[in-house]
Structure 1
Amino acid sequence: MKNKTKNLAIVCSAIFLFSTTFGCKDKETKPTEANATEVQAEPEPDFKISLAQWSLHRTFFGTENIDWKNFTKTLMESPDDLLKGKDPMEFPAIAASYGINSIELVNTFYFSKVDDMAYWTEFKKKCDEAGVSVGLIMCDALGNLGDDDPEKLLAAVEKHYKWIDIAKFLGAHSIRVNAAGEGTPEEVAKSAVNGLTALAKYAATKDINVIVENHGGHSSNGAWLSGIMKTINMDNVGTLPDFGNFCIERGPEGCAKEYDRYVGIKELMPYAKGVSAKSHEFDEDGNEIHSDFLKIMKIVKESGFKGYVGIEYEGSELSEDEGIKATKALLEKVFAQL
C-alpha cells in the first residue's frame, strides 16, 4: 500500500507539473604491419539492421489467420494458448540465421513469462549462443499510459515495471510503449505526459529508456507526439519512429485519415532512440511500394541519428521469411546509397 501511495503521488505530481508548465599512454613503438592494419580498421557504420519479432508473428502464433477479435481475451486468460507455432525461445537463433545480431522482442509472445526469471536466464543464454543482443522490448496490452483516470493510469504505469526489469536483465536499452487514451488530443496528451513521466522515473533507476512509437490514433500525429516529448523533456524518454504507422483514424475500408509519413518521421526523429522500418509490399525492383525508404532514411540521417533500424515486415504477399529478406536487402541497398 505504501508503494502504491508513493507511486500515485508521483503521477499526481506529474499532473501538477503539466498544469503549471507545458587511459595511460604506452611508450612509442615502431609501427608494424599488424598495428597499421588495426589503425585502418573499418569505421563503425552509421546504421545497422535489427529484427523486430513481430515480423514473425504468424510463425510464432502458428497461423495465417489470427483471431484478433478474441486475441486480447485469450492473452489475458491463457496467453500460451496463442502460441501454436515455433517456440519464441528460438527467436535469437532465427535472427542470427539472417545475419542479424540485434533483436526487438514483443512482450505478447512472453506474456506468461513475466515473473519467470529462470526462463529469462535461459533466453539470455540463447542470445549469447547465437551472438545476438536484445535492443528493446515492445510492450503492449498493459493498460493505457494516456488514461484520464489516475488510478487506471497508475496501474498501467506499474504493469510496465516488470518489463523494464526484464529489459535491464537482458541488456536492452529501451522498452517501447504506447501513448494511448480516450479523449481529445489535448486531454490524452495531458494524461500521456503524466503516465510517461511517472514510468520514466522508474526506468531511469534501471538505466532504461521509455520510447513511444507512432502506433495509431493521436500517436500517429507527428506534431502531437513530438509535442509530448518536448513537454516531458527527460533524457530517457524518446520515440521509435515507424515508417508506416501513421493512420490517425480507421474506417470500415481501412485508414480513413492518414498523417504524412515523411513529415511525421521528420518531426519524431529529434527524439528517436530507434527506428522501425515497416514494410508490406515490394515492386519488381525490390522497393517498398507504400514508403520511399531512401527518402525516409535521408531524413533519418539528416537528424543525426546513428544506430539500429529494425525490420518490421507485416505483409501478406510474401511469406514472413521472404518479407524479412526483402526488407533487409532494401535497407542494405539504401544504406549504400546514403
Structure 2
Amino acid sequence: MAETKEKLLEIKALKKHFKLDRTSTLKAVDGISFDIYKGETFGLVGESGCGKSTAGRTIMRLYEATGGEVDFNGDNVHAKKSKKELKKFNREMQMIFQDPYASLNPRMTVKDIIAEGIDIHGLVNTKQERLDRVNELLKTVGLNEDHGNRYPHEFSGGQRQRIGIARALAVDPSFIVADEPISALDVSIQAQVVNLLKRLQKERGLTYLFIAHDLSMVKHISDRVGVMYLGNMAEIATSDDLYAEPLHPYTQALISAIPISDPEVERTRERIIVEGDVPSPVNPPSGCRFRTRCPFAMDVCAKVVPEFLEHKQDHWVACHLYDERYNDENQAKQQ
C-alpha cells in the first residue's frame, strides 16, 4: 500500500457517453467513483468493452467528460483552462498506450519522439542538453544511446513500449495512465515491462493508473484494484484482499479463471462460469447491470441499482448480496 494516504486524484461520479444517433447513446462510463493516492498503483480491470480504457482517457482529458468530476491535486481536470494551465496539466499527467507501434510516429527518429515533450515544454536550452536528456532516458528504460537515431519499425514490441515509457517520463510527470501497456507484448516480455514500471515508480515517486484485463499481472503491480463491468464499478479493494476474498460474483468469476501453475490445485479448485454475453452499453439492464449473467440474481437486482458500500475496511462492493436491507432474500437465494 502507498506509504501516505494523500489523494492525488478524486474521480467523482464520472460519466462518458457517446451519442450514436438521435435515439441511441453508448454509456461507456456511467458514474464511477474512486480515489488514487500519491505513490500507489491503482489497477483497473474488466472484460473488453467494460469502459476501463475510456475511463482512463476521460481522466486524462483525451475525452471530455459527459458528467461527474476528476480532481487532480484539488484541481478540476475538466474545468475550462487557459493554454498555460493546460500545458502545466499535460506535463503532470502522461499516458502509455496499449499499442506501442501505433502510438509512435513512424516518420520520426526515436530521439525526436522522446524529445517532443521536452521541446514543447521548453525543458532544455541547448541541443546538447536535449541530446543528453534523451540519452539518459534511453538508458533509464534499458535501451542504448545509438537507438535514438533509429525509427520505430526497427524495434521489437517490447523495445517500442520502452520508447513509449521514455517519452512519458521525458517531462517528469507525477501521474501516468498505463492503458493495457503489456497486452500487445509476448508473455516473456510482459514481466520485464512490469518490473521496469515498478522500478521507475520507486525511483521517481510516480503514481499509476494501470488498466488491464489480465488479472494475474495486475496483482503483481497494483496496491489497490478496481473492477469494472459495463460502465460501472463493481468492486474496489487492496490487491491482497481482492484476490484472497473477492466479493462481487463478477470478480469471483474473473479470479477463478486465472490459470494456476500447480496442476493439483488447478484440478480441484471451483471454477465460476459466467453465462451469456455482455449486454450492450447502449441498452444496459435495469438495476444491477450484472444481473443478467449473475448466478445469485434476486428480484431486487432488476429493480434497484446496488449502492457502492464498504463491506469491510478499504473493501467496497456494489452488490445486493452484501446489503443488509435484502438479507431475507439473500438467504433464500443461497439455500
Normalization by structure 2: what TM-score?
0.36
Normalization by structure 1: what TM-score?
0.35
Question: Which of the pair is proportionally richer in strand?
Answer: 2
Question: Which of the pair is proportionally richer in helix?
Answer: 1
